[in-house]
Amino acid sequence: MSSDIALQNILDEFTEIAMIPRPSHHEEKIAAYLCGWAERHGLPCVQDELGNVIMDKPASPGCERAPKVILQAHMDMVCVAAAGVSYDPLKDPIKVINDGTTLTAEGTSLGADDGIGIALILYLLSDCGVSHGPLRAIFTVNEEDGMTSGAIDPKYLDAAYLINLDWEWLGSLCNSSAGCDFMAFSRKFERCPAMEDGAVLRIELGGLLGGHSGVDIHRGRANALTCMARLLLGLSENHIAYQLLDFRGGQARNAIPASAGASVLIKREQLPEARKLMGDYGDALQAYFGEIETGLKFRWETAETCAEDAVPDEAAAALLRLLLVLPNGVHTMSPYVAGLVESSQNLGLLETGPGYFRLSAMERSCSAYRAEELLSISRLLAETYGFVYEAGEHSPAWEVNPKSRLTPLACEVYQELTGDRMVVEPVHGGLECGAFFEKNPNMDMIAIGPSLLHVHTPKETCDLHSVRVTAELIAGILERIGGQE
């Protein structure tokens, strides 16, 4: 099959996938589509109790004795939309834009993480002319928000090799990933009467890059929640009397918050002073982040509305202090791998309800010691500021395999295809390979994929040339393994 036809087949599959809403915890429709795809192609398929879809394809004639290979991708996606874009992730399809060089989406995240991985696997499971040994495809649920795959039955992992297609740069091969822990901080309160003769001020911070809380955490991007908390605390420190009405921001606990909004009630005689302080703070944000956050937008306005009640001062102060003292961003760098983030934490999502705050966060680490250190700090700070600490899902780390045969094989095929050397590197982000390693430490694994930019944001982009090369790379790897006995 020519590379042009192969690429078009992959893009056709991706277009179908993009039409199916599939936020984390809501993969029923994409799972049904995949089961139907398997039936149409005559492939055995099961869906386990977690919702994962598992397909098998027999070996090509003459390759029956070759080791089994698992191709793996996740079904869910991070669903985010640009400011002002109407988008319901449970109902609306992704509107894909193909300009001949890249794929993007109209106003939302693209879902190439990991929809393009699914499309590549479906292409390789079809009659694409690749000779291979026994193949298994595993399409997992809830990778982006909890990695439910950690509970997968080990019987589905009885293979010699696994190729994970949740990697985001052509020419790079991942051989290790960090583990992660989700957590939340919550506090209940009873709203109090609003001050008399107060003016409602709405404050918005947006246009930030946001991004992946693992692979982008070291890039110095602004966290909209902590920036807003610093401003609100600054009002108090400058003796401006106000009451907090609302404060929320972020779109996912594993994404760096790109926007946040707050409403406060300020004494009218202090409005000029408050506006000056916010103008100064906006200048400070621009001075520090302007070279990185080129789309930064900070604005405020007096609303022609009234407020009947507000957040008690004690609860509001506790929230702002918690946001500013919790670990956020890079915690430690690896002493063994130059440039590798060893541990980090992301404060990703803040919700304010009628009588509660809930802050969701995520810790990542390739070191069990540093992971426990971050969790301990977070637990203690929650207790100090009167919040309930909730431990969430845990995903194990994937350790480097010094005896890997798959890594040098993939590097060899890549160099033959492109003439370039493949970079082998661990990653601070979490991959499902950690869960698979825990269930079958003898399985040889790599993570590869086409080049994606700005994942988990409305600017997500997929490079088409890299999709073509990735398909050829995987096909080459499968053919080499198909010749093994």
Q: How confident is the model at residue 414 (pLDDT cuts 50, 70, 90)?
A: very high
Q: Are residues 297 and 337 in the same domain?
A: yes
* Domain enclosing residue 290, as ranges: 181-395
Q: Are residues 154 and 224 in the same domain?
A: no
123, 160, 196, 471 from 395: Cα distances, Å: 29, 22, 50, 29
More confident call, 249 vs 197: 249
Q: Are residues 283 and 208 in the same domain?
A: yes
Burial class (CB within 10 angstroms; exposed 0-12, middle 13-18, buried 19+) of 210: buried
Q: Are residues 77 and 197 in the same domain?
A: no
CATH number, domain of 12, equals: 3.40.630.10
Q: Are residues 427 and 452 in the same domain?
A: yes
Beta bridge pairs of residue 451: none
In the predicted structure, residue 30 carries a pLDDT above the cut 90: yes
- What per-residue confidence (pLDDT) applies to 394? 86
Both tokens assigned to 280:
């100064």
pLDDT tens by residue, 65-78: 999 999 999 999 99
- How many separate domains does the chain show? 2
pLDDT tens by residue, 178-228: 888 999 999 999 999 999 889 999 999 999 999 989 889 999 999 999 999
- What per-residue confidence (pLDDT) applies to 109? 96
- What per-residue confidence (pLDDT) applies to 410? 98
Q: Helix, strand, or coil here: 207?
A: coil
CATH number, domain of 261, equals: 3.30.70.360
- What per-residue confidence (pLDDT) applies to 399? 82
- What per-residue confidence (pLDDT) applies to 303? 87
Q: Are residues 72 and 111 in the same domain?
A: yes
- Domain's final residue, options 361, 395, 429: 395
Q: Helix, strand, or coil here: 18?
A: helix
CA distance between the termini of the chain:
26
The answer to whether 374 and 363 have CB atoms below 8 angstroms apart is yes
Q: Are residues 447 and 306 in the same domain?
A: no
In the predicted structure, residue 1 carries a pLDDT above the cut 80: no
**Averaged pLDDT score across all residues of the chain:** 94
pLDDT tens by residue, 258-314: 999 999 999 999 999 999 999 999 999 999 999 999 999 999 999 888 889 999 999
- What per-residue confidence (pLDDT) applies to 363? 96
Q: How confident is the model at residue 485 (pLDDT cuts 50, 70, 90)?
A: low
Q: Are residues 226 and 254 in the same domain?
A: yes
Lowest mean pLDDT of 38-42, 253-257, 347-351, 461-465, name the range: 253-257
Q: Residue 24: which H helix or E strand, with range?
A: none
Residue % of the chain over a pLDDT of 70: 100
In the predicted structure, residue 146 carries a pLDDT above the cut 80: no
Q: Are residues 224 and 121 in the same domain?
A: no
- What per-residue confidence (pLDDT) applies to 396? 85
- Domain's final residue, options 345, 365, 395: 395
- What per-residue confidence (pLDDT) applies to 92? 96
- Domain's final residue, options 373, 395, 417: 395
Of 351, 343, 401, the closest CA to residue 368 belongs to: 343
The answer to whether 98 and 11 have CB atoms below 8 angstroms apart is yes
Backbone angles phi, psi at 456, to 5 degrees: 70, 20
Q: Are residues 188 and 163 in the same domain?
A: no
- What per-residue confidence (pLDDT) applies to 150? 77
Q: Are residues 81 and 102 in the same domain?
A: yes
Q: Are residues 191 and 126 in the same domain?
A: no
DSSP secondary structure letters along 372-390: HHHHHHHHHHHHHTT-EEE
The model carries a pTM of: 0.71
More confident call, 304 vs 19: 19
